[in-house]
Structure 1
Amino acid sequence: MNNSGIVQKVKVFILDFFKKEKSQLLTNMLIVAGVSLLVKGITFYKEILIAKEYGVSELLDTFLIAVLVPSFIQNVFINSYSSVFIPNYILEKSISKDTRAFQTSSFIITTTIALIMMAATYFCIDLYLESMFPGHTTVYYDLIKIQLWIILPCMFFWAISSLISGLLMTDNKFLSSSLNNIFTPLALIICLFFQDFLQEKTLAVGMLAGSILSTLYLVIVSIKERLLKLGLPDFKSKNMKTLINQIPAKISSGLINGVNPMVDQYFSAQMAIGAIAALNYGVKIPMVTISLISLPLGSTILPYFSSKAAENREATYQYLRRMLKSSFLVSGAIMVILIMLSKFIITLFFERGEFTEKDTDLVYIIQQMYFIQLPFYVVGIIMNKYLTAINKNNFLVFSSLISFLLNIFLNYTLVEVMGIKGLALATSLVSLINALVIYLYIKKQHSKTVYV
C-alpha cells in the first residue's frame, strides 16, 4: 500500500471514530490535549535546562534514584486508588445526591496509604539502596538520601491532588484538572536559576514546591466549583465496598508494573557512571510523545467508559474497538517518523553544555528503541482504562506479572547483546506482548457475554 493509501485509511478511521462519539467527549479530549501540550512543552524546556546544567552526571543519577521510590509509590498506590475511585464515584453519584461520606472515606484511605508509604520509605531506604544499588560510595548514598528526604512529603500532596483531580474529571472539569500538572515543571525551572544557592538540593526542592502549589490550586478550584464535600465517613456503602474490593487487584497490577522501571534502573546501575542518566534522556521524548497521545484519551475515556458501561456494555465494547484501531494507526505512523528523526531530535534538544556529541551517539539509539513501544503502549493504556471502568482489574494482575517476568528475561538477554540499548528494546517488546495479551482477554470476555 502506498503512502497516500495509508494516510487515507488513517483519516477514515479518525473521522469514523469522532462522528460516532459525543461532542463533549471530543471537546474534553481536545482540552486535555491542549493543556498537555503546554505542560509537556514547559517540562521539555525543564529537561533541556537539566541537560545543560548536569549532563550525564553522578548528581543527576542520584536525583533519579531518589525520585524513583516516591514516583513508584505514586504510580502504584496513589494513582491506583484514584483509578478505581472514578468509576465507583460515578456509580455513587447516580444513586445518591449526597456524596460527602464517599468523598471523606476516599480521602481517608488515600492519605493513609500515602503516610504509610512515607514511613516505610523512611525506615527501609538503607536496605533498598544497599540491595538495588550496591557497590557505591558513602557520598553517593548520602546524595540520594539528602534529596529523598525533601521529596518524601510530595507523596502526601500527590494523594490529595489525585483524588481532587478525579472529582474534577467526573464533573467534566478537564481544563482545571489538567492545569495542575504545570506547577511542578515551573517550580523546577525556577529552582534551576537558584542552583548556586540550593546546590545538590535544587531538583528535589523544585519537585516539593511544585507538588505543594499543585495541591493548593486543586483545593481552591474544587471549593470554587463546589465539588469538595466532606462529612462523616462510611466504609460500608455498596459502592465503597466495591471500590475497596477492587483496590488489591489494581494495586497489585500497578505494583508489578511499577517494579519494571526499578528493574531497568538496577540493570543500568551495574554499568558505567552515567548509564542511568543516558537511559533517562533516551526515554524522555518517547514518554512525552506517549503522554501527549494517551493522556487526553486516558483521562477522558475512564469517566466515559465508566458511565457508558453501566448503561450498555456492548456499545462500550464497540466504541473501544474503534478507538483502538484509530489510536494504533495514528501512533504507529508517528512512531516511524520519530525513529527516523531520532538523532536530529537529541542533537537539537540536548546537545549543549555538558551534553556532548558522544552522549548523543549513545542516547539517540536508546531513544529509537523506546519509540518502538509507542503504538502498543497507547492501546495498552486504553484497554487498561476499559477494564478498570468495568471493574475487571483482576486480569490486570495476571498481565502485569507476565510483563514483569518477561522484562527481567529480556533485560538479561538483550543487555548481553546490546548493552544499555537492550534495556530500552526490552521495554518496547514488553509493551507489545502486554497489549496483545490484554486485547485477547477483552475479546474473549466479550465473546462470553455475547454467547452466554
Structure 2
Amino acid sequence: MLIARAILYWNAYVARSPLRRLGHAALVAAATSLLSKVLGFAKEVVVAATFGLSGALDIYLVAFVLIGMPLSILLNAVQTALIVHLSSGLDRDTAASRFSATCLLTLIILAGLLPIWLWVLPHVLPWLTSGFSSDNRQALQAALYWLIPYYFLNGFNLLGYGTLQANGRFLANGLLPVVTPVAIMLAVLVLGSWAGWQLLAVALGVGTAMESLLLMAALSRLGVFSSQIRPSLRGLAPITMASLALLPGTFVQAIGPLVEQAIAAAMGEGSNAALVYGNKLPAALLGILLTPLGITTLPYFSAQIGQGNYAYSLHSLNKIAGWLLAGGTLLALPLGIFSSEIVALFYQRGAFDAAATKRVAPIQFAYFMQIPFALVSMLGFKTLAALNLNGLLCLYMALGVLLQALLAYVLTMRYGLPSIAWAAVIVSALLAIASYFTACRSLRRLSR
C-alpha cells in the first residue's frame, strides 16, 4: 500500500506541470538506457583485456569511424527533422507513412553514397592513417567492406529510434541497444583475439541485425511499421527542408572524429586505441545523461513552442540549464581527480598493462571535464532545433568542429595526445555558452 500511495503521489505531482512531466520522462529514459550503457562499457572492458592497445584494435576503431561518417552526416540531420515532425501531433497512419517514406528514401541515399565514399577513402587514407604500417593500411581498407552490413542496418536503426522517441516509447528505446554490445562481448569472451579485427566486425554486424529485428517488432506494435502502410513522398517537405538545413552542420560535425583519429594515428601504434579508451567511460556516462536529455527535450520544446508557450519554454530552459551545469560539475570533478585509479580498476588486466593505464588516464581526465559543458550544449542545440533555427545551429556546429580540429592539431604538437581531449573541452564550453544564450534570446523575443 505504501508503494501504491507513493506512485499515486508521484503521478499527481508530475501531472501538475509540463516541466515535471519532462523530468519524469527523462528519468524513465535514463533508467531504461542505463542497462545498455553499462553493458556497452562492460564490452569495452572485455575488448581492452583481449586486444590492449594493439594495431588490430586500431584498424577496427578507425574503420568504424570511417564507415560511419556518411551515417553521421545524413542520419543526424534526418533523425532530428523526423522527431520534430512526428512530435507535431500527426495521426497514426500519417505518421506511419511519413516514417516509411523517410526510411526508404534515406536508405536509397545511403546506398548511393556508399560506393562514392569507398572510392574516395583510398585516396585520403595515407593522410588519415599516416602512422599505420602498409599492412595495417591494407587491412583497414578490407575492414571497411566487412562493416557494410552495419552501415545499412544502423541507418535503419537510427530512424527507428527517432520514431520511438517522438512517440514517448522510452522503455524500448533504452533497452533495445543492449543487443549489440552483448553480441560483441560474447564473441570476444568465447573466441578471444582469434581472427583479430574480423571478429569484432562480424560480431558488430550480427548484433546490429538482431537489434534491427527487435526494433521492427517494437515499431509494428506501435503501428508505425506495418506492411499495410505504403510510403508516400507527399508530406515529406518539412522533413526534407529541415534535414537539408541541418546537413551542413552535421557534415562538418562528422569530420571531427575523423580529424581526431588522423591526428592520433600520426602519433604511432596504439594512439587511436588510447584516445578511444580515454573517452569510453566519460562517453558512457554522458550517454546515460545525454540520451534521456536529447530524446525528451526535443519533443518537449517542439510541443511547447508549437503551442505558443514561449515564456514557459524560457523558464524551462533556464531551470534545466542550471540543474545540468551544477549536476555535471559535481559529477565530473571527483571522477577527474581519481582518473588513474579508475583506468586501472576497469582496464588494467590482460593485454592492457600499467604503461597503457599511464597513457590513457590523462585523456580520460580531460574528457571527464567536458561533461557539464556537453550537457548544457545538448540542451541548447535541442532548443534551437525546436525553434527551427537550423541555419544558426549548423553554423555553431561547423565553427565548433573547425575550432576543435585547429586546437587539437596545435596543442597536440606541443603537449601530446591528451590535448585532443582538451580541445573538445574548450569547444564544448564555448558551444554551451553560445547555444544557451541564443536560445534564451530567441524565446525572450517570442514571448513579448
**TM-score (ref. length: structure 2):** 0.91
What is the CA–CA distance in structure 1 between the aligned matches of 2:352 and 2:179, rounded to whole Å?
26
CA shift digits 1:286-327 (9 cap, x unpaired): 111111111111112222222222112332222111111111
Write the letter of the residue equivalent to 1:171.
N
Written as runs of structure 1 = structure 2, the 5 A alignment for 1:45-444 is: 45-91=42-88, 93=90, 98-134=94-130, 136-192=132-188, 193-195=190-192, 198-229=195-226, 231-237=229-235, 240-311=236-307, 312-444=309-441
Q: How far apart are residue 18 of structure 1 and its match? A: 10
Q: How far apart are residue 438 of structure 1 and its match? A: 1.3
**Paired position in structure 2 for 1:3:** none
Aligned residue for 1:134, secondary structure, equals coil
Q: How far apart are residue 149 of structure 1 and its match? A: 1.2
What is the CA–CA distance in structure 2 between the aligned matches of 1:17 and 1:175, rounded to whole Å?
18
Pick closer, same or farther for the CA change 1:97–1:200 going to 2, 3 Å.
closer
Q: How far apart are residue 450 of structure 1 and its match? A: 4.0
CA shift digits 1:138-174 (9 cap, x unpaired): 3112221232212122121122212222222222211
What is the CA–CA distance in structure 2 between the aligned matches of 1:156 and 1:194, rounded to whole Å?
26
What is the CA–CA distance in structure 1 between the aligned matches of 2:94 and 2:411, rounded to whole Å?
55
What is the CA–CA distance in structure 1 between the aligned matches of 2:193 and 2:417, rounded to whole Å?
33
Structure 1 stretch 55-64 or stretch 434-443: which is displaced more? 434-443
**Paired position in structure 1 for 2:8:** none
What is the CA–CA distance in structure 2 between the aligned matches of 1:329 and 1:169, rounded to whole Å?
26
Q: How far apart are residue 367 of structure 1 and its match? A: 0.8
Q: How far apart are residue 358 of structure 1 and its match? A: 1.6
Q: How far apart are residue 251 of structure 1 and its match? A: 1.9
CA shift digits 1:63-112 (9 cap, x unpaired): 11110123333332113211110111222606x86334322321222212
Write the letter of the residue equivalent to 1:350.
Y
Q: RMSD across aligned C-alpha pairs, in angstroms?
A: 2.2
CA shift digits 1:174-193 (9 cap, x unpaired): 10122221111011012112
Aligned residue for 1:153, secondary structure, equals helix
Structure 1 stretch 144-153 or stretch 372-381: which is displaced more? 144-153
CA shift digits 1:34-69 (9 cap, x unpaired): 222211111111111111111111111111111012
Q: Is the 8 A contact 1:17 1:323 kept in 2?
A: no
Aligned residue for 2:269, secondary structure, equals coil
| 1:38 counterpart = 2:24 | no
> Which segments of structure 1 move beyond 6 Å, counting only runs of 4 or more?
16-19
**Paired position in structure 1 for 2:4:** none
CA shift digits 1:354-407 (9 cap, x unpaired): 111122112111111111111010111111111222222111111112212211
Pick closer, same or farther for the CA change 1:440–1:23 going to 2, 3 Å.
closer
What is the CA–CA distance in structure 2 between the aligned matches of 1:49 and 1:284, rounded to whole Å?
13
Structure 1 stretch 67-76 or stretch 288-297: which is displaced more? 67-76
Pick closer, same or farther for the CA change 1:328–1:101 going to 2, 3 Å.
same
**Paired position in structure 1 for 2:3:** none
Q: Is the 8 A contact 1:380 1:434 kept in 2?
A: yes
Write the letter of the residue equivalent to 1:264.
E
Q: Is the 8 A contact 2:34 2:288 kept in 1?
A: yes
CA shift digits 1:231-268 (9 cap, x unpaired): 4444343xx21221111222221111121111111111
What is the CA–CA distance in structure 1 between the aligned matches of 2:68 and 2:414, rounded to whole Å?
30
Q: Is the 8 A contact 1:302 1:389 kept in 2?
A: yes
Q: Is the 8 A contact 2:131 2:265 kept in 1?
A: no
Structure 1 stretch 317-326 or stretch 115-124: which is displaced more? 115-124
What is the CA–CA distance in structure 2 between the aligned matches of 1:278 and 1:199, rounded to whole Å?
18
Write the letter of the residue equivalent to 1:209.
V
What is the CA–CA distance in structure 2 between the aligned matches of 1:377 and 1:160, rounded to whole Å?
26
**TM-score (ref. length: structure 1):** 0.90
**Paired position in structure 2 for 1:10:** none
Q: Is the 8 A contact 1:282 1:370 kept in 2?
A: yes
What is the CA–CA distance in structure 2 between the aligned matches of 1:197 and 1:57, rounded to whole Å?
13
Q: Is the 8 A contact 1:78 1:158 kept in 2?
A: no
Pick closer, same or farther for the CA change 1:340–1:100 going to 2, 3 Å.
closer
Q: Is the 8 A contact 1:17 1:322 kept in 2?
A: no
Write the letter of the residue equivalent to 1:412.
Y
CA shift digits 1:323-351 (9 cap, x unpaired): 11111110111011111111110010011
